[in-house]
Amino acid sequence: MSEELTGADVAAVFHRYAKTVAELKDLLTELDTAVGDGDHGTNLDRGMRAAVEALDAGTPGTPGAVFNLVGRRLVSTVGGASGALYGTAFLRAAGAAGDATGLDASRMAAVLRQATDGIAARGKCAAGDKTMYDVWSAATEAVESAAAGGTGLAAALSAGAVAAAETVRRMVPWQARRGRASYLGERSVGHRDPGAVSSQALFECLAAQAAA
């Protein structure tokens, strides 16, 4: 169990995430076909494969450098909203991480806050809009609360993963107010948001790496 994530650890998170996205690709595509363009799974899978290839070519030394590499690769290889939103999140995370060699609970909370705010700014979304932002916001708040209470990194990220999963479930009966799903109006009720599901997976990968 780790109380801080190094650059190598953050790279391992993205390796976990790339594998998870590949496993979820068909589900994410199915979910996005119901409410959007049907390309979330294939786009995110392509982007994470490209990101992992870049990491394998030479993992940057710090967490910030890893976030920066992955963010830039997603922006350059993924079309649609997922590339812009995830890319922005990771680039903002890189800025918050700075030159730190490790991320403890407090610094991770600050990194996630900047990433979450980046998603809100780029997507012009807010809590309750039924987008991936709802998951990032809830998970980040859980990590912040745990860190403020003196909880270690592994437990804080575990709380974030639990909050992410709970939020995905809570969102199902909501009506989408932003993104392609909002065009469906009331027909968006009863569907899981694909970006929310892929975001939940990311927070679970973070928690798993910290617990390893």
Contact 159, 146 (CB under 8 A): yes
Contact 157, 145 (CB under 8 A): no
Q: pLDDT tens per residue, the chain (212 residues)?
A: 668 999 999 999 999 999 999 999 999 998 888 767 768 889 999 999 999 999 999 877 899 999 999 999 999 998 778 889 999 999 999 999 999 999 999 999 999 999 999 999 998 988 987 899 999 999 999 999 999 999 999 999 999 999 999 999 998 887 776 665 654 566 657 678 899 999 999 999 999 999 98
Contact 139, 192 (CB under 8 A): no
Name the CATH code of domain 5-211 (choices 3.50.50.60, 1.25.40.340, 1.20.120.10, 1.20.140.10). 1.25.40.340
The domain segmentation of the chain, as residue ranges, is 5-211
What residues contact 73, with CB distance under 8 A and at least 6 apart?
A: 47, 50, 51, 54
**Coil, strand or helix at 98:** coil
* Backbone torsion region of residue 64, taken as left when φ is above 0, otherwise alpha when ψ lies between -120 and 50, otherwise beta: alpha
Per-residue model confidence (pLDDT) at position 3: 87
Helices within the chain (DSSP H only) = 7-35, 40-56, 63-77, 80-97, 105-123, 132-148, 153-171, 194-211
Compute the distance between CA of residue 60 and CA of residue 100 in angstroms, rounded to an integer: 12
Compute the distance between CA of residue 130 and CA of residue 123 in angstroms, rounded to an integer: 12
Per-residue model confidence (pLDDT) at position 183: 47
Per-residue model confidence (pLDDT) at position 35: 64
What residues contact 83, with CB distance under 8 A and at least 6 apart?
A: 43, 47, 74, 75, 77
